[in-house]
Chains A and B, each alone.
Chain A
Amino acid sequence: MAEKEVLIEVKDLKKYFNVGKKAVLKAVDGVNFKIYKGETLGLVGESGCGKTTCGKTVMGLYEATGGQVIFDGVDIHSLHKKEKKEFTKRAQIIFQDPYSSLNPRMTVEDIIGEGIDIHGLYKGEERRQRIHQLLEMVGLNKEHALRFPHEFSGGQRQRIGIARALAIEPEFIVCDEPISALDVSIQAQVVNLLIKLQKELGLTYLFIAHDLSMVKHISDRVGVMYLGSMVEFADSDELYSKPLHPYTKALMSAIPIPDPKAEKEKKRIPIEGEIPSPINPKPGCRFAARCKYATEACKQTTPELTEVLPGHFVACHRVKEVNALGL
């Protein structure tokens, strides 16, 4: 584990949307992280905190407002057309909604084969063989190839989406809440499929979700986002056993425990108030308005993501006092 190769490095990534005169929605505001080859990085946070935007900007589907996404040494937002096409062969995305992510007018064969056609990987009989192989890889039959998306259930459609992403043999896949639209039993199937494929093909994942237990199950390291910025970042076990940021603590306390006794005795940390609007946010710590430890300083300056413990990054001014780390 000593020599881990960085596959993707995200530096101070910003994505703003103009939503009217002088109103700027800061969906992603200065996010930093690294993803090593072969690992899974989980990204959690509540709805509207910018996880999906972050994932899509990393993929280059959104033009970044600021910052860099360095994939294998190159900033993907500075690429020209041809290089960009090369990049798309190495990085893929699985979408959240299995209903809108498949073109209703195309057969499964054409949907999965789209990447193969664009990059000219296989033709004719080889192409068909490859598509059948992909279908079987994700647990579908080759008889499904000539059908249309509407003939499948949500879980099957998500598998088709996975097969499409795998078709061009990428190294890196952004999984944008691939399980949140599915019911629980199918969720497990899809997650296990993703883990199996990672082992077989040596994939690297950026796994975006709001289901904390699922993220723990699949991720090596986890980042917690709140309102467009990263508040805590650590190894998955570390983060779940020892959350340091007040927001993460509250989030972790909300995970249900599958034991009625323990669940009853568990102390939940409630957060007061609503999530503030990301349009023209106030300066200072984003969480300050809802944080019971917040001081005047928190409302004035934005805390940096700093390494508090080895490999454990937190963006909070008062992290040491709150957690009595005594440093």
Chain B
Amino acid sequence: MSENQQKTMVQEVPLTDDMFERIGTEGLSGEDIGKQSLTYWADVWRRFRSNKMAILGLILLIAVICLLFIGPTLSGKDYQFIDASIKNTPPNSEYWFGTDDMGRDLFTRVCVGGRVSIYIGLCCTLVMFVIGSLLGALAGLKGGIVDDLIMRLCELIGNLPYLIIVVILSMVMGRSMFSLVFAMSLTAWVGTTRMVRGQILQIKEQDYVQAAKALGADTGRIIIKHLLPNTLGIIMVDVTMSVPGFIFSESFLSYIGLGIRPPETSWGALASAGQQQLMFYPYQLFFPCLLIVITILSFHLIGDGLSDALDPKLRQ
């Protein structure tokens, strides 16, 4: 043994109890403390809230919707009032977004047109959601011939070119809001049906559904307690992501002249009119497009946030 080592040994101090401090003993009763347990949806909301982009999307969307409803009151103009003396006025303190080629206040028109666009987006999504989940659930649950029929119908409708259906329907039913909603939702439910069916097929084979059956649960209980809550998350994301799709489709149809009939207006119709003035009055295209972009962006941000919040695997 070297001298150095011996020295260290000599200097060693006997260890006594009072030299130690107990830390971390609260862990012994850790199970009692626990965090406050949340319901599933409260937990989803907690995680959604912590996603800054999603919250930004939500705030933007609420702001846009508020603007659409209080906008005309704020500006105090009528969206159909034509004043030839002020046509194509650039944005100023009187006409915030300027006026169009007939001298109508663009700000008021964007607000009123936005209502139509969002209304159509929500209506189509609602129809798509209801038809899609009902048929999807039916196909997934019943199986057999019912499943075959519904899936063949899906293929049939899914394979018809969407634009042709819209053109034919607007010829038959005339150009109105109803025919537009009808034509767009006629083809849209196919995707939702397929998705819901796939989910139901997957979940109904899970052991917990079998366990519920073994406990004597009837079909209604299994649907409400087990199948619905486990599909709703994915359906909700799909719904949020579809709204901007419909707004976009409506804009596109209005743009090519199949949408809303003047003097009613929508974002698409406004953009279409603005495009003709693009060379000299670019603001007439800019403002409707800005609103479309903000709305669609906010829906996408919310949808993204929801899909993260609803996925139990991303839970911390």
Point out residues on A near B: beta carbons under 8 Å: 56, 59-61, 84-85, 88-89, 91-93, 95-97, 100-107, 111, 114-115, 118-119, 141, 143-144, 146-148, 150, 161, 164, 168
User: Contact between A143 and B32 (Cβ–Cβ < 8 Å)?
Assistant: yes
User: Contact between A100 and B207 (Cβ–Cβ < 8 Å)?
Assistant: yes
Looking at the assembled complex, report how far the CB atom of A169 sits from the nearest CB atom of chain B, in whole angstroms.
12
**Residues in B whose Cβ lies below 8 Å from that of A161:** 211
User: Contact between B217 and A114 (Cβ–Cβ < 8 Å)?
Assistant: yes
B213 interface residue (CB < 8 Å to A) = yes
Select A106's contact among B207, B215, B225, B315, beta carbons within 8 Å.
B225
User: Contact between B216 and A143 (Cβ–Cβ < 8 Å)?
Assistant: no
Looking at the assembled complex, report how far the CB atom of B147 sits from the nearest CB atom of chain A, in whole angstroms.
15
User: Contact between A150 and B315 (Cβ–Cβ < 8 Å)?
Assistant: yes
User: Contact between B207 and A114 (Cβ–Cβ < 8 Å)?
Assistant: no
**Residues in B whose Cβ lies below 8 Å from that of A100:** 206-208
**Residues in A whose Cβ lies below 8 Å from that of B211:** 93, 95, 101, 161, 164
- With both beta carbons as reference points, the residue of chain B lying nearest to A109 in the complex is identified as B37
B221 interface residue (CB < 8 Å to A) = yes
User: Contact between B37 and A107 (Cβ–Cβ < 8 Å)?
Assistant: yes
- With both beta carbons as reference points, the residue of chain A lying nearest to B212 in the complex is identified as A114
Select B215's contact among A92, A97, A147, beta carbons within 8 Å.
A92
Q: Whole-angstrom distance between the alpha carbons of A152 and B229 in the complex?
A: 20
Q: How many A-B residue pairs have CB under 8 A?
A: 74
Looking at the assembled complex, report how far the CB atom of A127 sits from the nearest CB atom of chain B, in whole angstroms.
15
Count residues of B near A (Cβ-Cβ below 8 Å).
Answer: 24
**Residues in B whose Cβ lies below 8 Å from that of A95:** 207, 210-211
Can you list 29 residue pairs at the A/B interface with Cβ under 8 Å? Answer: A59-B214, A61-B213, A88-B215, A91-B214, A92-B214, A93-B214, A95-B210, A100-B206, A100-B207, A101-B208, A102-B208, A103-B208, A103-B225, A103-B226, A103-B230, A104-B230, A105-B40, A111-B208, A114-B225, A115-B216, A118-B215, A118-B216, A118-B221, A119-B216, A143-B32, A148-B37, A148-B40, A150-B315, A168-B215
User: Contact between B214 and A118 (Cβ–Cβ < 8 Å)?
Assistant: no
**Residues in A whose Cβ lies below 8 Å from that of B37:** 107, 146-148
**Residues in B whose Cβ lies below 8 Å from that of A89:** 216
Point out residues on B near A: beta carbons under 8 Å: 31-32, 34, 37, 39-40, 206-208, 210-217, 221, 225-226, 229-230, 312, 315
- With both beta carbons as reference points, the residue of chain A lying nearest to B39 in the complex is identified as A107
9 additional A-B residue pairs with CB within 8 Å, beyond A60-B214, A88-B216, A118-B217: A56-B210, A85-B216, A92-B214, A101-B207, A115-B216, A118-B215, A118-B216, A119-B216, A144-B31
B interface secondary structure, majority = helix
**Residues in A whose Cβ lies below 8 Å from that of B208:** 100-103, 111
Q: Whole-angstrom distance between the alpha carbons of A84 and B216 in the complex?
A: 7
**Residues in A whose Cβ lies below 8 Å from that of B229:** 103, 105-106
Q: Whole-angstrom distance between the alpha carbons of A97 and B207 in the complex?
A: 8
Looking at the assembled complex, report how far the CB atom of A314 sits from the nearest CB atom of chain B, in whole angstroms.
32
User: Contact between A105 and B230 (Cβ–Cβ < 8 Å)?
Assistant: yes
Q: Whole-angstrom distance between the alpha carbons of A103 and B232 in the complex?
A: 14
Looking at the assembled complex, report how far the CB atom of A141 sits from the nearest CB atom of chain B, in whole angstroms.
5
Q: Whole-angstrom distance between the alpha carbons of A180 and B214 in the complex?
A: 21
**Residues in B whose Cβ lies below 8 Å from that of A93:** 210-211, 214
| Residue with the highest number of chain B CB atoms closer than 10 Å, among A60, A84, A89, A164 | A164
**Residues in B whose Cβ lies below 8 Å from that of A85:** 216
Q: Whole-angstrom distance between the alpha carbons of A56 and B209 in the complex?
A: 13
- With both beta carbons as reference points, the residue of chain B lying nearest to A110 in the complex is identified as B225
User: Contact between A143 and B31 (Cβ–Cβ < 8 Å)?
Assistant: yes
Q: Whole-angstrom distance between the alpha carbons of A61 and B221 in the complex?
A: 16
Q: Whole-angstrom distance between the alpha carbons of A96 and B210 in the complex?
A: 12
- With both beta carbons as reference points, the residue of chain A lying nearest to B36 in the complex is identified as A146
